[in-house]
Chains A and B, each alone.
Chain A
Amino acid sequence: EIVLTQSPGTLSLSPGERATLSCRASQSVSSDYLAWYQQKPGQAPKLLIYGASSRATGIPDRFIGSGSGTDFSLTISRLEPEDFAMYYCHQYGRSPPFSFGQGTKLEIK
């Protein structure tokens, strides 16, 4: 099983600032099968990015996914008030089991 490690655990920023979240895999993620989700309290997760860098339908272009192999990042170029939430990376593909990172909490400074 691939272990995903997200950093930092908590990120404190102000609206308008740039956020960079990291997800590191214990082994290479094939075909960049790496997704990012946003989760707000009491809600189900929401898909933001799939295939490491493709935005899901309706996701604003301030959300940017990048990386390959074992190192991936989610950048939010200019934070909006609604962006403060938990973020998870997720590894998927042909061969289960799959995994999620432990999450990064993006909080208002």
Chain B
Amino acid sequence: EVQLVESGGGLVQPGGSLRLSCVASGFTFSEFAMSWVRQAPGKGLEWVAAVHGGGSSAGYADAVKGRFTVSRDNSKNMLYLQVNSLRAEDTAVYYCAKDSWPRNGVFDAFDIWGQGTMVTVSS
């Protein structure tokens, strides 16, 4: 079964940091680009970051550029999101998501999502 499981969320003070993790199973992890998408309470989906299968190329939303870093360890089937300089507006459920096709150079639609991990930024 193809599965994504996130962890690492929690309550953090403004200006703090966290590292979110996502463990993948049931597919050849290194062949697929992976992304992070977040959803603030009661709000819509927001694309956050994505990284190609080899890990060498990544992209970020303007709202998180310079504060968040996406990375992956293909030997461990793990996706990460290092989140620094957190703000109240970063409070959200963070989902990791798998690209639907193993295409080189293209970030694709997401066919598999994790259950999400909640990040709350508050003093």
Contacts and interface: CB of A to CB of B under 8 A. Distances in A.
Categorize the interface residue count of chain B. Answer: 20 to 34
Contacts, number: 74
A60 interface: no
B46 interface: yes
A94 B106 contact: yes
A100 B108 contact: no
A93 B60 CA distance: 13
A105 B115 CA distance: 21
A100 B111 contact: no
Interface string B90-109: 00000100001000011111
B95 to A, nearest CB: 6
Contacts of B54: none
Interface string B51-75: 0000000011110000000000000
Interface of B: 37, 44-47, 50, 59-62, 95, 100, 105-111, 113-116
